[in-house]
Structure 1
């Protein structure tokens, strides 16, 4: 086990290892943490309760003999998972996902460690005196992940009331202002299909890195500069020039950082993985701090935010939360009932491609491997990485997780119909500047650049735009300028009926209720054969 995991074990002496296959009662959790709240030692509490550090798995739903009823308030999270137990297979995949779902839906309270009085949303220490328990602008600003990601169901998007004020969480003193001088207002995106998106980004990063290595090798072999185009899954990310001395000219790199790591999360494309996203969000929005980011090994304290609860989220907890989000259902397509509406969907899809929308909103890309693997090798420090563990985790995105799932391809791959190129673009020009309102740089990314929005859930993830301030699909299309200006004008040149058909097509791209058996369905979520439907409806 790597050093980070050893440090994690040392810093979690007061948390027991995974117990009773997700059946450990909430009362036992509260008893274990009561010493931290009251000032007693956890060793004494262990002697008093008989709870030991290693318990064998039991039948789900079983009760434990040392259960003691807790009357009154207590934590929302009943237990914690240990990374070693997940890696060793002592906890089944479905149980790991169940724990991840509990983390996603739990309304955390102070018994869990909710709040971060002595730390900002980026972890910078501050005076805890008088800090707000909740503050809409700077956080903590939510009770549960599902408080924002819930439309049309858990793990979905959020309407404008759920907007977050990105980067305000770093300010000290905190600000109550929603002015763009202090933060960037962003709408909540849906999480469906996130496992496929992360793996697609990883593979694309790998292809870009391979091109860089090849150019460097050629430059060193020839003694001459080598300029090479950067292609990943057919998407151009500009070019770079490798020099014989091993240095690089990245001035022509476009749509991705100079390190050539595709970051598929956040509307700016600023976050590498679901794990990094989760570690950030738990601290920012809830004041729930993970051991791998804020534990003793990294900060010198097991209670970095000084809220009285040590080691609030284990490495295993973050793994479970990551795998749960990665295993959420894949968005698909819902055809309306009326004959003319169905025909409009098919006609609109053709027009969408014909006028150039598919140049950035690429309808489909193919994964070489259908496996989601964890942890991500591109994770930045403060997030579990492959070298930190002896054994990682993997599951098949086409066979495991919520239905519906990705379509498998021959050779072990899968099709991802996300309608994105995972590249940043500038949608502003002198006349159209709706998407250029931001003033605060995030992760060093130019304020006018945004990641191409995934459209595979656009039909039921309104409102639109990075602020959620556009209420119709037509408004969102017409707000495109800059790199998309020619496509916008092509849309405007369509006859009204064809414009409406494009919108009808976009409305058909939806998150589907978990358990739906097919990615292409009718209004009652019954499977449809799209090719047969197209033949029946005609041109």
Structure 2
């Protein structure tokens, strides 16, 4: 009964009309709220472009205290958490808020891109008790800024892979019940193996052989650790953490009992409509692509380098492309979690059909008609460091139960435009970060180190053709 009242109240809140437009000269970044009731069902190409443009404006907006920037009585934690002590500064580079705009960090080579070392952020274990004002690595991890180009395609791949894994678990359970014996089943999707599960006749599942995915079988494709499920979850978290702009779908009255959880005097700082626009902008960003250099010598070297990349076994994790069945991006998505707007919270989710965008027509397809997403990744976590080669396992604090030396495979598309490299952004060349691979990638890294200089150079020449070109 309580949940029914909450959901009814949320839907009623979503139906409220958008606020009146602010005067152009008022020192606010948000001039007009976006009515979430207008975002339902399949959006036309024109409506999608308009929403994405509004999202871009919000992504580039420099939020002010009149918008609600800052969070004097709240921490960066994912779970709404009140500060244990007053913040000495409204903005600070450690626990944040640490930026005025999304584009303050996501700006290289253009809006939505990556960021240099100067834009590094500090992240705690994430859930609560996130006050810290020290560089001591036992309190936070320092991370570089990832680019967002092709992010809509990445999330769609993760959704389909999650659906495949969940369906495999259901098959195993049916088989175990029918046979009365344990049913051991491989978990694989789009050619990527996530280990095995064993279903038991009593309905329980042994997950000891899972590999690179959480126990709930949800593929979480975002952040270096692979701990964010969706662009919406990432956006909601980042608005609070980096800007002190608190989305009401998590920090509002439904979950916290107040419209001004951070106590800055501004209620309902970011509505579900604004978050949806930010998601639409990020999901609509075109994927990076492989370019053909004008220099003939570079083209020749890149051809050789592409082959060496395969020869070294790099494609085991950096898969050239993953097949995608559908370009229909539902928002909210099917596996968003509590504290983020979910499909059950709205009458009908909005659907952004990425096929309506010009760049979608350039994506290759396989003989089944599936879109081939050339991300050079596998959306899976791997152990990437060991005692001999520890540079990429340099974090002290585990995050969301993911071990310190385990990270998501970095998608290589766009890598030519998104240096520096490594999780902390402290490696200035591609050669450095390749040599730093340990753990599951140690054999490939060692083989790279053993190549003649000309062949290592050729591999770099190919990587430097993977560009972000809006």
Shared fold by TM > 0.5?
yes
2:160 — aligned with what? 203
CA distance in structure 2 between the aligned counterparts of 1:406 and 1:276, rounded to whole angstroms: 27
1:368-414 CA-to-partner distances (Å, cap 9, x unmatched) read 11222221111110111111111112233233276786445566631
1:440 — aligned with what? 397
RMSD: 2.2
Say if 1:360 and 1:3 are closer, same or farther in 2 by CA, change over 3 A. farther
Q: Offset at 1:83?
A: 1.4
Correspondent of 1:392 among 349, 362, 371: 349
Say if 1:130 and 1:332 are closer, same or farther in 2 by CA, change over 3 A. closer
Say if 1:95 and 1:4 are closer, same or farther in 2 by CA, change over 3 A. farther
The answer as to whether partners of 2:239 and 2:245 remain within 8 angstroms in 1 is: yes
Are 1:222 and 2:172 an aligned pair? Answer: no
Partner SS for 1:394:
strand
The answer as to whether partners of 2:76 and 2:131 remain within 8 angstroms in 1 is: no
CA distance in structure 2 between the aligned counterparts of 1:497 and 1:399, rounded to whole angstroms: 43
Are 1:82 and 2:35 an aligned pair? Answer: yes
Say if 1:326 and 1:354 are closer, same or farther in 2 by CA, change over 3 A. same
1:84-143 CA-to-partner distances (Å, cap 9, x unmatched) read 112276992222112111111110001101111111111201367455210100000000
Correspondent of 2:287 among 330, 340, 348: 330
Say if 1:168 and 1:246 are closer, same or farther in 2 by CA, change over 3 A. closer
Are 1:26 and 2:1 an aligned pair? Answer: no
1:377 — aligned with what? 334
Correspondent of 1:100 among 45, 51, 55: 55
CA distance in structure 2 between the aligned counterparts of 1:193 and 1:78, rounded to whole angstroms: 28
Are 1:115 and 2:70 an aligned pair? Answer: yes
CA distance in structure 2 between the aligned counterparts of 1:253 and 1:347, rounded to whole angstroms: 36
Partner SS for 1:398:
helix
The answer as to whether partners of 2:14 and 2:36 remain within 8 angstroms in 1 is: no
CA distance in structure 1 between the aligned counterparts of 2:11 and 2:439, rounded to whole angstroms: 51
2:430 — aligned with what? 473
The answer as to whether partners of 1:11 and 1:296 remain within 8 angstroms in 2 is: no
Are 1:417 and 2:374 an aligned pair? Answer: yes
Say if 1:367 and 1:487 are closer, same or farther in 2 by CA, change over 3 A. same
Partner SS for 2:187:
strand
Partner SS for 1:92:
helix
- TM-score of the two chains, using structure 1 as the length reference: 0.82
Higher RCO structure (Cα 8 Å, ≥6 apart): 2
Are 1:496 and 2:453 an aligned pair? Answer: yes
Gaps of 5+ in 2: none
- TM-score of the two chains, using structure 2 as the length reference: 0.93
1:238 — aligned with what? 195
* Residue pairs, 1:148-187, within 5 angstroms: 148-167=105-124, 174-187=131-144
Say if 1:121 and 1:212 are closer, same or farther in 2 by CA, change over 3 A. same
1:52 — aligned with what? none
Please say which of residues 394-403 and 290-299 is displaced more in the overlay.
Answer: 394-403
The answer as to whether partners of 2:386 and 2:393 remain within 8 angstroms in 1 is: no
Are 1:313 and 2:315 an aligned pair? Answer: no
Say if 1:158 and 1:292 are closer, same or farther in 2 by CA, change over 3 A. same
CA distance in structure 2 between the aligned counterparts of 1:118 and 1:187, rounded to whole angstroms: 27
2:9 — aligned with what? 7
Q: Offset at 1:439?
A: 1.2
1:291-328 CA-to-partner distances (Å, cap 9, x unmatched) read 11111111111111111111111111111111110001
CA distance in structure 2 between the aligned counterparts of 1:201 and 1:4, rounded to whole angstroms: 29
Please say which of residues 262-271 and 433-442 is displaced more in the overlay.
Answer: 433-442
CA distance in structure 2 between the aligned counterparts of 1:173 and 1:386, rounded to whole angstroms: 29
CA distance in structure 2 between the aligned counterparts of 1:444 and 1:488, rounded to whole angstroms: 27
CA distance in structure 1 between the aligned counterparts of 2:255 and 2:439, rounded to whole angstroms: 43
CA distance in structure 2 between the aligned counterparts of 1:445 and 1:455, rounded to whole angstroms: 22
CA distance in structure 2 between the aligned counterparts of 1:266 and 1:171, rounded to whole angstroms: 18
The answer as to whether partners of 2:226 and 2:408 remain within 8 angstroms in 1 is: yes
Give aligned pairs, total: 463
Say if 1:103 and 1:405 are closer, same or farther in 2 by CA, change over 3 A. farther
Q: Offset at 1:176?
A: 2.5
Partner SS for 1:435:
helix
CA distance in structure 2 between the aligned counterparts of 1:398 and 1:407, rounded to whole angstroms: 12
CA distance in structure 2 between the aligned counterparts of 1:377 and 1:172, rounded to whole angstroms: 29
Partner SS for 2:455:
helix
Partner SS for 1:155:
coil
